[in-house]
A and B are shown apart, each in its own frame.
Chain A
Amino acid sequence: MKLMVPVDEKNMQTDVCISFGRAPYFMLYDTDSQTAEFIDNDAVHRQGGAGIRAAQLISDFHPDALLTPRCGDNAADVIKGAGIPMMKAIKGKATDNVQAYKEGRLEVLGETHPGLHQHGGC
Chain B
Amino acid sequence: MKIAVLSGKGGTGKTLVAVNLAAVTAPSCYIDCDVEEPNGHLFFKPTSIKSKPISVLLPQVDPLLCDGCRACVEFCQFNALAYVQNKLMVFDEICHSCGGCMLVCPQKALTEREKVIGSVEEGSSEQVYVKSGFLNPGESSGIPVIKALLDSREPELSENTWIDCPPGSACIVMESIREADYCVLVAEPTLFGVHNLAMVHELVKLFKKPYGVVLNKCLPEVNPAEEYCKEHEIPILDKIPFDHYLGELNAKGIIVSRESEEYRNRFLGIWERIQEEVQQ
- Chain A residues with CB under 8 Å of chain B are 43, 46-50, 52-53, 55-56, 59, 74, 77-78, 81-83, 117-118, 121-122
Contacts and interface: CB of A to CB of B under 8 A. Distances in A.
B73 A122 contact: no
Contacts of B78: 47-49
For the complex of A and B, list the 10 residue pairs with the smallest distance between their C-beta atoms, beginning with the closest.
A49-B79, A82-B84, A122-B171, A53-B79, A52-B79, A78-B82, A56-B82, A121-B171, A81-B84, A121-B170
A77 B89 contact: yes
B144 to A, nearest CB: 11
A62 B82 CA distance: 15
Given A74-B91, A122-B141, A46 B85 contact: no
A52 B73 CA distance: 10
Given A122-B96, A122-B143, A52 B91 contact: yes
Interface in B74-113: 76-85, 87, 89, 91, 93-94, 96
B83 A56 contact: yes
B94 A59 contact: no
Contacts, number: 55
B interface majority secondary structure: loop
Interface string B132-152: 000000001101000000000
Contact of A52 (B77, B85, B94, B171): B94
Given A48-B94, A117-B140, A122-B141, A81 B85 contact: yes
Interface of B: 73, 76-85, 87, 89, 91, 93-94, 96, 140-141, 143, 170-171
A57 to B, nearest CB: 10
A48 B77 CA distance: 8
A78 B94 contact: no
Nearest to A59: B84
**Most chain-B CB neighbours within 10 Å: which of A46, A49, A53, A83?**
A49
B229 to A, nearest CB: 27
A117 B82 contact: no
23 contacts: A43-B79, A48-B78, A48-B94, A49-B80, A49-B94, A50-B79, A52-B79, A52-B80, A52-B82, A55-B82, A56-B79, A56-B82, A56-B84, A59-B82, A78-B82, A78-B84, A81-B84, A82-B85, A83-B85, A117-B94, A117-B140, A121-B170, A121-B171
**Most chain-B CB neighbours within 10 Å: which of A46, A53, A55, A56?**
A56
Contact of A49 (B84, B87, B91): B91
A117 B78 CA distance: 11
Contacts of A81: 82, 84-85, 87, 89
A74 B80 CA distance: 9
Nearest to B95: A49
A81 B85 CA distance: 7
Given A81-B85, A122-B170, 15 more contacts: A46-B79, A49-B79, A49-B94, A50-B79, A52-B79, A52-B81, A56-B83, A59-B82, A78-B89, A81-B87, A83-B85, A118-B140, A121-B170, A122-B96, A122-B171
Contacts of A50: 79
Contacts of B93: 117
A108 B134 CA distance: 41
A2 B18 CA distance: 61
A113 to B, nearest CB: 15
Contacts of B171: 121-122
Contacts of B140: 117-118
Contacts of A82: 84-85
Nearest to B84: A82
Given A49-B79, A74-B94, A121-B170, A56 B73 contact: yes
